[in-house]
Copies of this chain bind each other. A is one copy, B any other.
Amino acid sequence: MKLTTKSIDIENRGVLLHAGDAREISVRDGDRVEVKNHITGESVSAFVDTTASLIPQGVIGIYRPTQVRIDVLEGAEVEVRAADRPATLDFIRKKMDGLRLGKEETLAIIRDVVDDVLSPSELTAYIVATYTNPLDMDEVEHLTRAMVETGEQLHFPSYPIVDKHSIGGVPGNKISLLIVPIIAAAGLKIPKTSSRAITGAAGTADLMEVLAPVAFSALEVQQMTEKVGGVIVWGGATNIAPADDRFITVEYPFKIDARGQMLASVMAKKFAVGANLVAIDIPVGEHTKVPNADEGRKLAREFIDLGERLGMRVECALTYGESLVGHTIGPKLEAREALAVLEGATEPTSLIQKSLSLAGILLEMSGKAAPGQGYAVAQEILSSGRALEKMKQIIEVQGGDPSVTSAGIVPGEHQFVVNAPATGYVVELNNKALISLARAAGAPQDRGAGVYIHAKKGTQVRSGEPIFTVYADRKWRLQKALEEGRRLMPVVVEGMLIDRVPSRHWGVGGDVHGA
């Protein structure tokens, strides 16, 4: 059926049909139609909402994301028909039934994911099927290659290209802001793509955005890396392994991280930027994604195996994941902390040691340091100021202000200090609760929001000394964070009263209330 387009400014991947037109082509709400652009001859598939009044019969409302995909002008004529059932649904069904998927089947699924042919529900079915019927290493390799092929790729004229990845689960992990300039200062190329926080308080992209813009095309990432040796950009803007963003959206309500998906997502992004030397940071700890060192070593072997299949050298570092890295959570607080280290601060040791260890691995892998000398070489690059100088070049090439200093980064103006109610040791510092607090305060959207932890686990504090400070850009957010803090009690000092429970039988005035 021929329909005339009308743009509708709604962020939704579908189209809007008049109920009468929908009946005519036998589709219902939620069904899939194929919309063909008469000029280009190209078709996109889209899901249907219907209306009886918003548009007349003969008109199709094109929501904004669909507009981008089909690329038609307002008032253009398009051909609309009920879409065929995608063959990839049968492949997904196959995986549900516990069968293995071949290379072409996996590629077809990922192509349909990226082209928005599959609905979020259909993608969910795929993800859940691969979670309950885990992918074997052949399938993981197919998936990795499919994720690479369905997105942009960088092609550098010379090797090595190095990269690093932290599989997450530990807060305050701002090490990329140190590792990238150290590696680039050593004369290596490191085109680092990173993510924004989804459930956390700040992703590496959120931190870097405090210092410079982070949204670039794949080509720009390549050009900037060739120019200064490294970048720290937001992967979401590059269209590198774009299927990953779709997976994350589906996985996050369930907090699942299907092993095969995770391996493929990480390695696809490294492969697509052309990296051939990769260090993977695997934080280990009861509250991270990897509960113990044995699990960590197993995962490491899988990364290394997958890397070999793809022609990449991978080394993994099992790191301590029980405690936050450094003292800060939240975009500005973390960016300030990392920049201060580049400027010469000798604290916090947890941040500096972890960053130098990872950087050291990459320096050794690439031959820029002799075996066993990586840490020392990284330390020299940092303490000599060369890493700071490189970071300023990176900030500048990404369009930020290279004269920025840590002192110039001012976190949220609304603050609240939580003091130790008693003298004793900090016996508990709940990472998840601290993240909730930072998010309640507005992080990551409000860049100044976050938490500064003065006394980490094991530290002795005296009564009245600060344990942590909450920062917020907006006053009502600070209020919300305080409520969250009272509810979650993220820090416990030994000997401190956790709560006072008044007697049920005595009211303020001594009145006796009934039960």
Of the candidates B11, B53, B96, B445, which one forms a contact with A26 in the assembled complex, judged by CB atoms under 8 Å apart?
B445
Judging by beta carbons under 8 Å apart, are B8 and A96 in contact? no
Tell me which of A119-127, A331-339, A387-395, A415-423 binds B: A119-127
Quick one: CB contact mask for A31-56 with B, threshold 8 Å, 1 for yes? 00000000000000000011111100
- A255 near B93 with CB under 8 A, answer yes
A98 an interface residue at 8 Å Cβ cutoff? yes
- Residue-wise, chain A 75-101 has the 8 Å CB interface mask toward B (1 for contact) of 000000000010001001100101000
Kindly report how many copies of this chain are found in the complex they form together.
2
Among A119-154, those with CB < 8 Å from B are 119-125, 127-129, 131-133
- CA gap between A153 and B52 in the complex, in Å: 32
Q: Which residues of chain B come closer than 8 Å to A30, judged between CB atoms?
A: 120, 249
Decide: A253 and B85 in contact? CB cutoff 8 A.
yes
Contact residues in B for A253 (Cβ distance below 8 Å): 85, 89, 119, 121-122
Q: Is the Cβ of B254 less than 8 Å from the Cβ of A92?
A: yes
CB distance from A105 to the nearest CB of B (A): 15
Residue of B nearest to A446 (CB): B26
Residue of B nearest to A29 (CB): B11
Q: What's the minimum C-beta distance from A127 to chain B, rounded to whole angstroms? A: 8
CB of A206, distance to nearest CB on chain B (Å): 14
Residues of B within 8 A of A442 (CB): 26
Known: A11-B49, A121-B123. 16 other contacts (CB 8 A): A9-B53, A11-B50, A26-B442, A85-B253, A89-B253, A89-B254, A92-B254, A93-B256, A96-B132, A96-B254, A98-B132, A119-B120, A122-B124, A125-B127, A125-B128, A128-B132
Contacts of A131 in B (CB 8 A): 96
Which residues of A in the span 452-485 have a Cβ within 8 Å of any Cβ on B? Answer: none
Closest chain-B Cβ to A172's Cβ sits at a distance in Å of 21
Least CB distance, A355 to chain B, in whole angstroms: 30
Q: Is the CB of A51 within 8 A of B10?
A: yes
**Contact call B125/A254, Cβ cutoff below 8 A:** yes
Given contacts A96-B132, A124-B124, contact A9 B89 (CB under 8 A): no
CA distance A132 to B126 in the complex (A): 12
Q: Are B128 and A96 in contact (CB under 8 A)?
A: yes
Q: List 30 A-B contacts (CB under 8 A).
A: A8-B54, A9-B51, A9-B52, A9-B54, A10-B49, A10-B54, A11-B19, A11-B50, A12-B12, A12-B49, A23-B445, A26-B445, A89-B254, A92-B254, A93-B254, A93-B255, A98-B132, A119-B253, A120-B120, A121-B121, A121-B123, A121-B124, A121-B253, A122-B124, A124-B125, A124-B128, A125-B127, A128-B128, A129-B132, A132-B132
- For residue A250, CB closer than 8 A to chain B, the reply is yes
Inter-chain CA distance A73–B154, complex, in Å, is: 54
A128 to B254, CA, bound (A): 13
A217 CB to closest chain B CB, in angstroms? 22
Specify which chain B residues have a CB less than 8 angstroms from the CB of A9 in the assembled complex: 51-54
